[in-house]
Structure 1
Amino acid sequence: MPAPKSTSTPAEDNRLLSRDIPEVLKGGGGGHARGGGGGGKSGNGGGKSAGHPAGSPGAHVSMPGLPGGKSATAYGDGGGPVIIVPAGQPFGGSAVGGGTRKQVIDPSSYLGCNATQLNHDLPFYFWPVVWRDVTGHITVGCLNESQDARGPFGTPENPSRPGGPLAQASFESRVDGSMSTLHVLADESTLSSLLSSISLNCSSAGLVNGTTHPYNGSSPSDPEQKEAIQYYRATSVVLTDDGYNKSSTAFLRCLNDTIANGVPLVSSATVATPELLVLHMGTLVIGWFFLQKIL
């Protein structure tokens, strides 16, 4: 049987972590940071398509692990039907699909953490981030509850995660001689696209460097759950604070707006129909009952 759905709000639920939010992020995000021309380079091939440089509006992003070989589009609108996973299957009872650009950040929620996280719904198809600390303890998204390595979302290195294993990007800014560092954690394909989008958009806000690295949580320098300042796309992407200072408000706003507007979404041009698609989670084989059908 699927787990009972939570009736509490994220702000009231004691499973959610809490922390102070920078003033610039309060009330949600999502300005109009549209990727321009230019040559921002991505670390792992962010999905360059004809006429659309990687990370720019309309660029298609290859997403290994999505049901039926679906792809995603940078700055795309998302949408499409919502499918309920049959009971008795992995993610049974969860709602999958239907997430739109306007829902990438929920301005009424705390840190972008809402009921979809509590119920293990997957409105954007992407799985929530999983955190692992230096002791090996694993937690999911914005929840203060643990899972083991064989839980539904596996470890950060799980190759079956839509978009690939988790990776981290470090973004450094220099404003008036002061350095700030922010981190973004997401699947490899999403992060590659975002690296290009942020490079295109945020140089004027003080960005001086953006680099990507694998994430496994074992290093003291890796971003931690307690450092999260904003979640996106149903907690499948997270922005963390590592030495942020108030002089970098424009830099933080640019990263937030670029992620909110540019994070790749699955196109509404495809729909999901029940069909068996076998995925591998390490040595565990699961069935995910979705196969895309081109309209």
Structure 2
Amino acid sequence: MLCPLFEFQRQQLCSFTSTPMFIPFFSRRARRAGSSSSSSSSSSSAGKSGTSSSSSSSSAGKSGGSSSSSSTGKSGGSSSSSSTGKSSGSSSTTGKSGSTGTTGKSSSSSSSSSSSTTRKTSSVSFGGSTKAASTYSSGGGKSITIALGQLFGGRTAGGATRNQVFGTRAYGSGYPGYYTRGVTQRGFPFWYWPLVWSGIGYETSSEYLYDTTEYGQPDNSSRPGGPMATAAFQSNSTGTTFRLVADNNTVTDLMTDIASNCSQFLTAASINATLPTPFNGTVDPEQVVQYYRASSVALTLDGYNNTAVFASENSTADVPLPTGIDTNLLECLNDTIGLAVPLINGGPRGSTPDFRLGGLLLLLLFILQ
């Protein structure tokens, strides 16, 4: 659930969880993304990235079933992305993502960066069909039940929107209607599969992180958007390194938006990089500072060791983020991902009503009279 910024609203709307929630610093610019697929604006954002030990997620009714699960198998990947031009403009991001806060109260700073909101669209294979996914799309659309006999048959897919993309630091967060961690036998509210982590759970409490029986290994080409990949973004002031982890198409599409929006905080190498790196297991789940889009996207921080992810659920608070990191870059990354992460378009292309036909009919009626 995306909690409001104001304290009295949080008490009313976010009382369902008994543990501290991560309050995403979702700016006014980003909040508008739910109602507009691409726009040009100038805005500001503020907030602290708090801690969370539960996987409280965006609200919107239960999406994702718990029916039969099947093996992953290879069924072809997804095609590469192609861009379509839209509008561009400038935007500003202000505020700091706090390293230890748990209340989500805002703080402010005065930093700005120009951004280009070019909408990019790529083809994503899911359940034997191909769908269009776009950056800055509002998502939504009708939820379906995957046909029996297909991969993950019987589970639901689709229906989630842009304002539901934020999760927490818990693996399995960001699923509308789910408030526990883990991704076993869940549906696909955003169509994308959740991330999988390489490793072995030595304790029962951490086995949920390393289950690859449902979604296969990170290099599984059946994954919508392609095999998992990463991209590094290093601060030009502190050396802080964040990494984006997602399917190949998502990482590729977001790299250009991040380079544009956050250029004033990034090193030249981070700005000029255009291709993601295949996921090789060097990024770990305890490094995650934020999950997005039903845990199919993650932002990690090098050197962060959130041991709470290995403990029993709700038993331990998240480890605070290290001091001295570039919180301006963290905020810009979080804001850009929330605003631009690709979503499956909710309606068919060309679905805008054509009012010309109505005009011709009225003209014909006028002539006949």
* TM tier, smaller: 0.5 to 0.7
Aligned to 2:101: none
Given the superposition, is the C-alpha separation of residues 65 and 124 from structure 1 closer, same or farther in structure 2, using an over 3 Å criterion? same
- Give the whole-Å Cα distance in 2 for the aligned partners of 1:26 and 1:145: 19
- Give the whole-Å Cα distance in 1 for the aligned partners of 2:229 and 2:87: 24
Q: Return the match for 1:199 from 249, 259, 263.
A: 259
Aligned to 1:255: 333
SS in structure 2 at match of 1:102: helix
Given the superposition, is the C-alpha separation of residues 103 and 208 from structure 1 closer, same or farther in structure 2, using an over 3 Å criterion? same
- Give the whole-Å Cα distance in 2 for the aligned partners of 1:143 and 1:125: 24
Structure 2: runs of 5 or more not aligned? 1-15, 31-37, 42-78, 89-114, 304-321, 354-369
Cα deviation for residue 89 of structure 1 reads 4.9
Aligned to 1:121: 187
Given the superposition, is the C-alpha separation of residues 146 and 173 from structure 1 closer, same or farther in structure 2, using an over 3 Å criterion? closer
Q: Return the match for 1:216 from 269, 280, 286.
A: 280
Whether 2:251 is the aligned partner of 1:173: answer no
Q: Is the 8 A contact 1:202 1:254 kept in 2?
A: yes
Aligned to 1:69: 130
Structure 1 stretches of at least 4 aligned residues deviating more than 4 Å after TM superposition: 33-37, 86-89
Structure 1: runs of 5 or more not aligned? 1-9, 13-17, 38-43, 272-292
Given the superposition, is the C-alpha separation of residues 236 and 183 from structure 1 closer, same or farther in structure 2, using an over 3 Å criterion? same
Whether 2:284 is the aligned partner of 1:227: answer no
TM-score by length of 2: 0.54
SS in structure 2 at match of 1:239: strand
| Structure showing the higher helix proportion among its residues | 2
Q: Is the 8 A contact 2:87 2:117 kept in 1?
A: yes
- Give the whole-Å Cα distance in 1 for the aligned partners of 2:216 and 2:39: 33
Cα deviation for residue 11 of structure 1 reads 7.3
Cα deviation for residue 69 of structure 1 reads 1.7
RCO comparison, higher one (Cα < 8 Å, 6+): 1
SS in structure 2 at match of 1:230: strand
Q: Is the 8 A contact 1:173 1:208 kept in 2?
A: no
Aligned to 2:197: 131
The within-5 A match list for 1:3-14 is: none
Q: Is the 8 A contact 1:159 1:165 kept in 2?
A: yes
Q: Is the 8 A contact 1:113 1:235 kept in 2?
A: yes
Cα deviation for residue 241 of structure 1 reads 1.1
- Give the whole-Å Cα distance in 1 for the aligned partners of 2:17 and 2:280: 28
| Structure showing the higher strand proportion among its residues | 1
- Give the whole-Å Cα distance in 2 for the aligned partners of 1:51 and 1:113: 28
Deviates more, 1:255-264 or 1:63-72: 63-72
TM-score by length of 1: 0.67
SS in structure 2 at match of 1:126: coil
- Give the whole-Å Cα distance in 1 for the aligned partners of 2:17 and 2:285: 17
- Give the whole-Å Cα distance in 1 for the aligned partners of 2:26 and 2:184: 23
